[in-house]
Amino acid sequence: MLSPAEDSAFRDIRRDFHAHPELKFEEFRTSEKIYSFLREWGCDEITRGLGGTGIVGVLHGRLGAVTSKSIGIRADMDALPLTEKNEFEHVSRYSGKMHACGHDGHLTILLAAGKKLAEERNFSGKLNLIFQPGEEGGAGGKAMIDDGLFAKHPCSEIYALHNWPGLSEGTFGFKSCALMASSNQFDITITGKGGHAAMPQLCVDPIFIGTQLCQAIYGITSRMVKPIDSAVISISRIKAGDSPNIIGNDIFLSGTVRTFSYEALDLIEKKIKHLSTQICSAFGAKADVCFLRQYPPTINDEEITAHAVSVAEKLFGKRKVLTDIEPTMGAEDFSFMLQKVPGTYFFLGNGDISGNHRGQGHGLGPCTLHNATYDFNDNLIGIGAKFWNELVMTRLGHDESSD
């Protein structure tokens, strides 16, 4: 779909974004660049400043409103607070900022698709090109929704992709229903009664109670959640005590909870609160529990996913399409958009983690997400753009005589 000249131009564009990474909600240069491209290519409407630096470009098909459908395709724009260890020419210009999750690639794929679709407009209805800030822990997807994304730009269905190291180059990984988990955090403060470590009978020892509580909490996933409903609880931070001969007043426990279903999530939240208060009360201590739901599970629509699978199979052959990829306990804020509008989120193979696609001067680490020697695989720009293009045309209807 992209000519060799266009392909090369978009590789340069991707590398320019890579060299100028911006952290969540600071994507000012990135957003400005995207805006000038969308304007140059003749987008019918452009909305800026959604959820901070978010931007939406709207394209109307030349076949008019034969369908009332409108599609949204979302790409994330932010980088990570990481110092890049590559030394090639497009290495990050800033210490402590790096496109180590490939969002530079995601947005370039969407730009490449958008340029082609803007030129040809061989579809009916409306297409919304959605560029989102703050995916890396900032819930930028939610910020855009709260700022009126779907009120200003109604979508009947939405799509997004993420490059996936370890999946062979250009292989699509789809999954109906839950592909990524919900991400949640809990913080528990247990307040006991401090005193001399040689006289525990005069104290309410928070460490003794906290360690009992840890065991009980780990019992939630093994004994209370349905065995076929996957869930993870990790108590990953404990802080207590200052001195070997002093029993302190309190202990602080903190951790993460990941689930694919709301049913498991509701149960775990309830049980963590219940066990904390009851165990503490049994030993004469007090528990303060804070349970924070961060990202919801990423749940794909069955019919829309099946359509996306058929598009990928038609373009690239069944060998390049996995229809039931293993879900991951990682989380993704596209889930907020999927709560409002049905759609699908899928993986696109970035290639082997040895990262043979990386240019000369790359660091020695594996080419995995959030690694300081990662680099996006530019061969995915043409593949991803071709996919988005075909998806829009088949989903919104097109004039086959001009294919």
> Between the CA atoms of 391, 24, 7 and 2, what dihedral angle is there, to the nearest 10 degrees?
20
Using the structure block, give the residue that is written with the tokens 């066990």: 275
Which strands form 250-259's sheet, in the order they lie side by side? 231-240, 250-259, 182-191, 286-295
Looking at the Cβ atoms of 101 and 213, the one nearer to Zn ion is 101
Residue pair 366/93 in contact (Cβ under 8 Å)? The answer is no
Query: Is 38 a residue that touches Zn ion (CB under 5 A)?
Result: no
Looking at the Cβ atoms of 161 and 188, the one nearer to Zn ion is 161
DSSP 298-352: EEE-HHHHHHHHHHHHHHH-GGGEESSPPPBS---THHHHHHHS-EEEEEEEEE-
Looking at the Cβ atoms of 46 and 372, the one nearer to Zn ion is 372
* CB 362 to Zn ion: min, Å: 19
Looking at the Cβ atoms of 75 and 101, the one nearer to Zn ion is 101
Looking at the Cβ atoms of 125 and 363, the one nearer to Zn ion is 363
* CB 247 to Zn ion: min, Å: 42
Q: Return the range that interacts with Zn ion (CB under 5 A); candidates 97-105, 194-202, 206-214, 279-287.
A: 97-105
Looking at the Cβ atoms of 98 and 264, the one nearer to Zn ion is 98
> Cα(259)–Cα(106) distance, rounded to whole angstroms?
26
Looking at the Cβ atoms of 138 and 343, the one nearer to Zn ion is 138
Q: Return the range that interacts with Zn ion (CB under 5 A); candidates 57-65, 99-107, 151-159, 393-401.
A: 99-107
In the region spanning residues 171 to 230, those forming contacts with Zn ion, defined by CB under 5 A, are none
Q: Return the range that interacts with Zn ion (CB under 5 A); candidates 98-106, 247-255, 263-271, 293-301.
A: 98-106
Query: Is 299 a residue that touches Zn ion (CB under 5 A)?
Result: no
Binding mask of the shown chain, residues 355 to 394, with x at each position contacting Zn ion by CB under 5 A: ----------------------------------------
Pick from 278, 274, 270, 272: nearest CA to 254: 272
Residue of the chain from 55, 56, 73, 101 that contacts Zn ion (CB under 5 A):
101
Measured at CB, which residue is nearest to Zn ion? 101
Looking at the Cβ atoms of 77 and 101, the one nearer to Zn ion is 101
- For 78, list phi and psi in degrees, rounded to 5: -90, 160
* CB 4 to Zn ion: min, Å: 29
Looking at the Cβ atoms of 101 and 167, the one nearer to Zn ion is 101
Pick from 243, 246, 249, 267: nearest CA to 209: 249
Q: Is the dihedral of CA 116, 73, 369, 315 positive or negative?
A: negative
> Cα(132)–Cα(7) distance, rounded to whole angstroms?
23
Q: Return the range that interacts with Zn ion (CB under 5 A); candidates 101-109, 172-180, 261-269, 298-306.
A: 101-109
At residue 99, the 3 state secondary structure works out as coil
Residue pair 127/61 in contact (Cβ under 8 Å)? The answer is yes
* CB 369 to Zn ion: min, Å: 6
- For 213, list phi and psi in degrees, rounded to 5: -65, -40
Q: Return the range that interacts with Zn ion (CB under 5 A); candidates 7-15, 100-108, 117-125, 258-266.
A: 100-108
> Cα(114)–Cα(214) distance, rounded to whole angstroms?
51
Looking at the Cβ atoms of 31 and 371, the one nearer to Zn ion is 371
Looking at the Cβ atoms of 72 and 140, the one nearer to Zn ion is 140
Q: Which two tokens stand for residue 373?
A: 């020697």
Residue pair 132/77 in contact (Cβ under 8 Å)? The answer is yes
Using the structure block, give the residue that is written with the tokens 């349970």: 291
> Cα(169)–Cα(164) distance, rounded to whole angstroms?
9
Binding mask of the shown chain, residues 51 to 90, with x at each position contacting Zn ion by CB under 5 A: ----------------------------------------
* CB 308 to Zn ion: min, Å: 19
Pick from 346, 328, 338, 351: nearest CA to 174: 346
* CB 1 to Zn ion: min, Å: 24
Number of Cβ within a 10 Å radius of residue 92: 21
Q: Is the dihedral of CA 36, 37, 41, 43 positive or negative?
A: negative
Residues touching Zn ion: how many (CB under 5 A)?
1
Residue ranges in contact with Zn ion by CB under 5 A: 101
